[in-house]
Structure 1
Amino acid sequence: MPNTEGPGPRIVLVGPPGSGKSTVGAALAERWHLALRDTDSDVETTVGKTIPEIFFDDGEPAFRELERAAVAAAVAEHDGVLALGGGAVLDERTQRVLADYEHGGGVVVFLDVTLTHAAPRVGFNQSRPLLLGNPRAQWQALMEARRPVYERVATMRVLTDGLRPADVAEAIEGELAALRVARATNDPAAAPVPTTNEGDE
């Protein structure tokens, strides 16, 4: 289990659709005997609508405001594993919330994935309003735009291609152990942003 020094989630997962935030989050929560919280589910519960319905009925700006509030509340209240919606990190206020969380000892993990491996996981169905039209091209464009933000807000990056959720969870635990050592010795040079990309399905 990660050794966070302050209040808040034990770990926060960010990344694009198909990166495995929900499944990896569930695997980590099970390993650590903690609760899993997903901000997309929080938004749907608050409004009583699915995310596609919010997009189509109220528009993306309304959804993003709900999402921002959901992230702020979850980071403040939740002490388990937290998974954020794919676009949540684009909000500047959310970026500040995550920066404060990290400064307090928290860990944000960017679950990276390539289109080849995201496609079968996502399915590119009608439940993802931002991927309507040409879903593969839309996903690629979203990822190119969001990647710098994911990398900037993250404490570490783990590539999930070819890995089962349990494998990703194990890889994250290994990187967290190295991060704990680096923080304990107060040596930033000992803690480069890790990248994990080994493994097969």
Structure 2
Amino acid sequence: MSNRRAAGTRPAAVLIGPPGAGKSTVAAAIAARTGWQHLDTDEVIVSQEGVPISDIFVVQGEEHFRRLEADAVREALSGHDGVLSLGGGAPMHPDTAALLDGHVVVFLDVDVSEAAKRVGLNTARPLLAINPRAQLNALLKQRRPRYEELATFTVDTTGRTPEEIAQEILDRLEELA
């Protein structure tokens, strides 16, 4: 797989999945291997708003955050040509799900127990602030059908290093080329 991508093209891959699946970490590993840029829509929102996502949830509400998120995804899908990682809830917004049509979408799946270990008691994740394991289980049950529906392919991240996962994704992207 070439480390150069033509300017102005769409993302090489869009990573989706639940909190703790490793979307940002794996995207960074792919970027390190290929020289592609990595863009994380949660980081874009924090940069634009100047406050943590948890503060946006508390002060302005989840609905406001989801609108910001849909805008960030829309812009990234049309202007980013590297690897893109989305927040876990982004694909649940109907506008965002529609925008993903025609893109290479990789569902990073993870066992709930491992996701809970990875996330821990991270208060920066507002939907997981209370009882992370139970919340992850509920989120995954709710979101899994959408993740599967949107995915070009699925990669299980349970018990694997970011480098192993990145290599599998790059191999699969090569097969699609």
Compute the TM-score of the two structures, normalised by the length of structure 1: 0.82
Q: Which runs of 5+ in 2 are unaligned?
A: none
Deviation at 1:7, TM superposition (A): 2.5
- SS of the residue corresponding to residue 133 of structure 1 reads coil
Structure 1 equivalent of residue 45 of structure 2: 43
**What is the CA–CA distance in structure 2 between the aligned matches of 1:124 and 1:156, rounded to whole Å?**
30
Identity across matched positions, percent: 49
Q: CA-to-partner distance for each residue in 1:118-141, whole Å, 9 max, x for gaps?
A: 122111321111012222111100
Structure of higher CA gyration radius: 1
Q: Which runs of 5+ in 1 are unaligned?
A: 181-201
Structure 1 equivalent of residue 155 of structure 2: 158
Q: Does 1:115 align with 2:117?
A: no
Structure 1 equivalent of residue 88 of structure 2: 86
Contact 2:37 2:82 in 1 (8 A): yes
Deviation at 1:54, TM superposition (A): 0.3
Q: CA-to-partner distance for each residue in 1:94-125, whole Å, 9 max, x for gaps?
A: 111100xx2xxx31100000112112211132
Deviation at 1:171, TM superposition (A): 1.0
Opposite residue 131 of structure 2, the aligned amino acid is N
**What is the CA–CA distance in structure 1 between the aligned matches of 2:134 and 2:78, rounded to whole Å?**
36
- SS of the residue corresponding to residue 127 of structure 1 reads coil
Quick one: which of 16, 20, 26 aligns to 2:28? 26
- SS of the residue corresponding to residue 126 of structure 1 reads coil
Compute the TM-score of the two structures, normalised by the length of structure 2: 0.93
Quick one: which of 102, 127, 130 aligns to 2:127? 130
> CA RMSD for the aligned pairs?
1.8
Contact 2:115 2:136 in 1 (8 A): no
**What is the CA–CA distance in structure 1 between the aligned matches of 2:173 and 2:130, rounded to whole Å?**
39
**What is the CA–CA distance in structure 2 between the aligned matches of 1:8 and 1:173, rounded to whole Å?**
16
Quick one: which of 54, 57, 62 aligns to 1:55? 57
**What is the CA–CA distance in structure 2 between the aligned matches of 1:167 and 1:87, rounded to whole Å?**
25
Opposite residue 44 of structure 2, the aligned amino acid is D
Opposite residue 155 of structure 1, the aligned amino acid is T
Structure 2 equivalent of residue 9 of structure 1: 11
**What is the CA–CA distance in structure 1 between the aligned matches of 2:155 and 2:13, rounded to whole Å?**
14
- SS of the residue corresponding to residue 18 of structure 1 reads coil
**What is the CA–CA distance in structure 2 between the aligned matches of 1:23 and 1:110, rounded to whole Å?**
14
The number of aligned residues is 175
Q: Which of the pair has the greater relative contact order for Cα pairs under 8 Å at 6+ separation?
A: 2
